[in-house]
Amino acid sequence: MLVSARQLLEDFLSTIIFLVAYAVTGSITVAVGVAVAAAVIQFAVLKWRGKTLDAMQWTSFGLVVVLGGVSLLTADPRFILVKPGLIHIAIGAVMLRRGWMIRYLPPIVPERLGEGAIVAAGYAWSALMIAIGIAIIVVAVAFSFAVWAWFVSVGVMGLQIGAFLLQYLVFRMMIRRRRRAVAAASG
């Protein structure tokens, strides 16, 4: 869980820095510049530490630099605002791989539920991530920066926490039902 949280933080660090820089300066141009600089520094630090960058890190870095650069050249922040949406869509696409979720679950879940429920939950997460990505892009293009900032920082996090809690409760309920069924069959 801690490793996953760290990876998400690394993937969205430039977006977080962008929001903080905007909150402090009130300038989208400064925020975009700081976000691009942070992405370049983050990339350099990872390479200096000898870490192998995975596809998601390369994608995130490339999107920040390219979309940030276009935002600065055109003075239009919407280019950088779509970056989290594209990342969510990419994550959703990766989540289409059958059984991706199994390695993230405690051993009791696959043992008690079987692969079918876990695969279905993985596909549900994929659909959620793709839908969130599309929503982020729509909000970036059609609404004000303030609406986008609220949606990305509060709305998206709320959706993901809600989905996690729902999945936890459903899995817990299913495991309890199966335990009861096994106990009743052997008793």
What is the rounded CA–CA span in Å between residue 142 and residue 163? Answer: 26
Q: Which amino acid is at 166?
A: L
- Side chain identity at residue 64, one-letter code: V
Judged against a pLDDT cut of 80, whether residue 3 lies above it is answered with: no
* Tokens, residue 184: 């009743």
Strand runs labelled E in 3-136: none
Quote the mean pLDDT of the chain: 86
Distance CA 187, CA 180 (A): 10
Residue 86: burial class (beta carbons within 10 Å; 0-12, 13-18, 19+): middle
Q: What is the pLDDT of residues 91-116, one digit of tens each?
A: 899 889 898 888 778 888 888 888 88
With bands split at pLDDT 50, 70 and 90, how would you rate the model's confidence at 71?
confident
